[in-house]
Amino acid sequence: MAEHLALAATEPPSLTPAEAEVLFARQPILDAGSRLAGYELLYRGESSSESPHAATSRVAASALSDLGLIHATGGAPAFLNVTTEFLLAMDPLPFGPEGVVLEIAADRVPDEPLIERLGRLRQHGYMLALDGYAGQPAAERLLDFGTLAKVDVHTIGTMQLVDLVAKLRGRGLRPVANGVDTHIEHDRCADAGFELFQGDFVCRPREIVGHNVPTASIGALRLAAGISAADTSVDELEKAISLDPGLSLRLLRFVNSAAFSLRHQIKSVRQAIVLLGPRTVRQWAMLLLLSGIDEQRGPLLITALSRGRTCEAIARRLGADDPDAYFFTGMLSVVDALLDQPMEDAVRDLPLSEDVIAALVDRAGGKGRTLTMAEACERGAWDDAALPSLDAGALAVLHVEALAWADGTAAGLV
């Protein structure tokens, strides 16, 4: 009974018909302290040929209702791209202002009906963000209604960025740096005065010369890699976890939390393995180890969880022999960012099989191809990752379910 309850707690919730029609990816937006400030939702409807207006309407009117938005972002603010046609046609909006940021294109010359509509949205508490702001004259009137402004930073020089930030702050808007691909670019934007940051830098290592990884972090990764092997016996798994008293304590505290709904308290690592199963304990132990390496990178841990779960789900759908190994490969795909090292250096001394190393370093082999598919899902590029035996819609469903599972799992660590 205890094993059944524990495993049930790790399964993602099934999607409702409405949610299955509106599938999304998301990209984190971080503040200056690398804390999660929200997610921009990237979505697709039933047909990839839908107009932006139709896709926006479908998202807003079905899956992303008040409760759907919370489900889609794990409770973080949701940044939604909306067209002006949608704003004018959908009145009132099908969701309230709490936890929502409406993104509108900054290059749209507003007419009076739109100006009036934006004014009413502000009066009702909705937050508006100008997307693609670059100082264009067309956006001058829109600035009066905005709370934030997103600037695509990869095509703009440093001095212009400083001027744009100063102008936005002078108008009372918070500047958001969009398209931040590296930590060097992040630092450039931070120096220019940006307060929020969005881009691929989240999952990439910092460019640090002569960086020494703390011994404790290396030890945690070696332990994580060691316990990820599917053929680890109960005795070996118990011994490996028990060698780290801190991990043992955190693991027992976690499995005795409300998330597992166990009738009786688990008092030892071995009891946890016997009752919950080696697979479940390996997953939780690895999660706890990775979360302890750099506690400031919460969004990166969510990515590791959802990526691992997506890899596992794809492997199961395609009939792979060892789907658990795909899960751990996905989880370990963020170790370069956790350690701020190139991947080949990060995994050099870890006890990993050759096929897992090839997947992590070169995206080679079956695990590497699955990892590439999971990363494409994170960008919303389901069509690029689709296979004849796993179409884009089915792949997107797997990814959305993985996101929901990752949010719920990470919440259990708090």
Query: In the chain, what are the domain boundaries?
Result: 17-203, 210-411
User: Which pLDDT band, with edges at 50, 70 and 90, does 46 fall under?
Assistant: very low
Distance CA 332, CA 326 (A): 10
Q: Whole-angstrom Cα distance, residue 312 to residue 306?
A: 10
Q: Check pLDDT > 80 for residue 368.
A: yes
- Residue 50's Cβ-count burial label (10 Å; 0-12, 13-18, 19+) is middle
Task: Give tens-digit pLDDT for 101-151.
Answer: 999 999 888 899 999 999 999 999 999 999 999 999 989 999 999 999 999
- Tokens representing 199 are 């881009």
Name the residue among 174, 200, 165 with its Cα closest to residue 303: 200
210-411, what's its fold?
Answer: Hypothetical protein af1432 (1.10.3210)
The model's pTM? 0.83
Closest by Cα among 33, 2, 76 to 295: 33
In the prediction, which pLDDT does 10 show? 42
What's the rounded Cα separation, in Å, for the pair 247 and 227? 13
User: Topology of 17-203 in CATH?
Assistant: TIM Barrel (3.20.20)
Q: Is the dihedral of CA 17, 19, 22, 23 positive or negative?
A: negative
Residue (of 379, 394, 383) closest to 49 by Cα position: 383
The Cα 128–Cα 101 span in angstroms is: 6
Structure tokens that stand for 50 in this block: 């839908």
pLDDT of 67 strictly over 50: no
